[in-house]
C-alpha cells in the first residue's frame, strides 16, 4: 500500500480522448480516502472528447505536483500524443517518481511511445492489442494487467475494473470493495458480445471492418513511435 499524507493521482486530459477512459477511473479515484485527483493538460481551456463532451482540466503540466499515480487514458487523440514531445516528456518525468504508472485503453500505446513499456506486460483495446509489441511490450489479452509498477486496462469500460485494482493496491481491498458497492458496480450486460472472446464471428468481423481505416492510422503512428525509440 501507498503510505502518504495525501495521495496524488493524475489523469492526462487531452483533445479527442474517449471520455469514459478518464471518467470511469476518475469516479473511482475521487472516492478513495485522502486523495487528490488532477486532470492535467497543457492549459486550463476546456478539452473536448472524441464524442463532444467538454471537460475542464484542473492543472497544467507546469503546475502539476509530483504524482503517486499517473494514468493515461486512450481515444483517437492518442495518435497525436504519440509524437507530442511535451506530453511524452511530462509522462516520463512524472513516471520517475510515481509509484504506479498506468493507462486505460490505448493510453498504453502512449506509455509505450514514451519508452515506458519496454519489457513489460501490458494490455489495451482488443483492436490495437498487437501494436504493443511494436513498442517493446508483451501484449496480454486481459481486462487488467499488472507488471511490477505498471498497471494497464483494456478498452473503455475496463477503466472501472482497472481503477478498483489500483485502489486495492494503494489502500487495500476493503476500501476498493466499499467503493465498488457505493458505485453499485455490478455489471450485467444485456448481451454477451463485449469482447472478441464472446462476440460471434459475424459481429467481430463487422466491428473489425468498421474500425480498419482508423486502426491503420493508429498503426502508422505506432510504427513511427517505435522507430523513434530505436534512435
Q: Could you read off the pLDDT of 70-93 as tens digits, one per residue?
A: 999 999 999 999 999 999 999 999
Q: Above 70 in pLDDT, residue 4?
A: no
- Which listed residue (6, 64, 71, 105) is catalytic? 105
Residue 130 to residues 2, 40, 140, Cα–Cα distance (Å)? 33, 28, 9
Would you call 118 helix, strand, or coil by DSSP?
A: coil
1-10 b/e (C-beta count within 10 Å ≥ 16 → b): eeeeeebbbb
64 is catalytic: no
Q: What pLDDT was estimated at residue 5?
A: 81
pLDDT tens by residue, 142-175 = 999 999 999 999 999 999 999 999 999 999 999 9
Query: What does pTM read for this prediction?
Result: 0.97
Q: Above 60 in pLDDT, residue 2?
A: no
- Grid coordinates standing for 89? 516528456
- Contact present, 132 and 117 (Cβ < 8 Å): yes
Share of the chain above pLDDT 90, in %: 97
> CA-CA distance, 62 to 94, in Å (whole number)?
11
Give kind and range of the element (H or E) at residue 223.
Answer: helix 201-230
Q: What pLDDT was estimated at residue 231?
A: 83
Q: What pLDDT was estimated at residue 124?
A: 98
What are the boundaries of each domain within the chain?
7-230
136: left (phi over 0), alpha (psi -120 to 50) or beta: left
Which CATH class, in words, describes the domain spanning 7-230?
Answer: alpha beta
Task: Find residue 69's DSSP bridge partners.
Answer: 9, 100
Average pLDDT, integer, range 221-230 = 97
Task: Find residue 41's DSSP bridge partners.
Answer: 60
Q: What pLDDT was estimated at residue 1?
A: 58
Q: Above 60 in pLDDT, residue 3?
A: no
Average pLDDT, integer, range 92-98 = 98
Average pLDDT, integer, range 209-230 = 98
Amino acid at each position: 500500500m501507498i503510505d502518504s499524507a495525501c495521495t496524488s493521482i493524475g489523469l492526462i486530459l487531452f483533445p479527442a480522448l474517449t471520455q469514459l477512459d478518464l471518467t470511469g477511473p476518475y469516479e473511482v479515484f475521487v472516492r478513495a480516502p485522502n486523495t487528490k485527483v488532477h486532470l492535467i493538460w497543457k492549459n486550463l481551456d476546456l478539452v473536448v472528447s472524441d464524442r463532444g463532451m467538454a471537460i475542464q482540466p484542473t492543472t497544467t503540466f507546469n503546475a502539476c505536483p509530483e504524482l503517486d499515480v499517473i494514468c493515461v487514458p486512450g481515444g483517437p487523440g492518442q495518435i497525436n500524443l504519440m509524437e507530442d514531445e511535451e506530453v511524452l516528456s511530462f509522462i516520463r518525468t512524472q513516471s520517475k517518481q510515481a509509484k504506479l504508472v498506468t493507462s486505460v485503453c490505448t493510453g498504453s500505446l502512449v506509455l509505450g511511445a514514451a519508452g515506458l513499456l519496454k519489457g513489460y506486460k501490458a494490455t489495451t483495446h482488443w483492436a490495437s492489442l498487437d501494436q504493443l509489441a511494436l513498442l517493446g511490450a508483451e501484449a496480454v489479452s486481459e481486462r487488467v494487467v499488472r507488471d511490477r509498477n505498471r498497471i494497464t486496462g483494456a478498452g473503455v469500460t475496463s477503466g472501472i475494473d482497472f481503477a478498483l485494482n489500483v485502489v486495492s493496491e494503494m489502500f487495500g481491498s476493503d476500501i476498493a470493495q466499499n467503493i465498488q458497492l457505493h458505485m453499485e458496480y455490478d455489471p450485467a450486460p444485456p448481451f454477451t458480445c463485449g469482447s472478441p472472446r464472446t462476440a460471434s464471428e459475424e459481429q467481430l468481423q463487422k466491428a473489425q471492418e468498421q474500425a480498419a481505416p482508423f486502426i491503420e492510422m493508429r498503426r502508422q503512428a505506432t510504427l513511427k513511435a517505435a522507430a523513434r525509440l530505436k534512435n
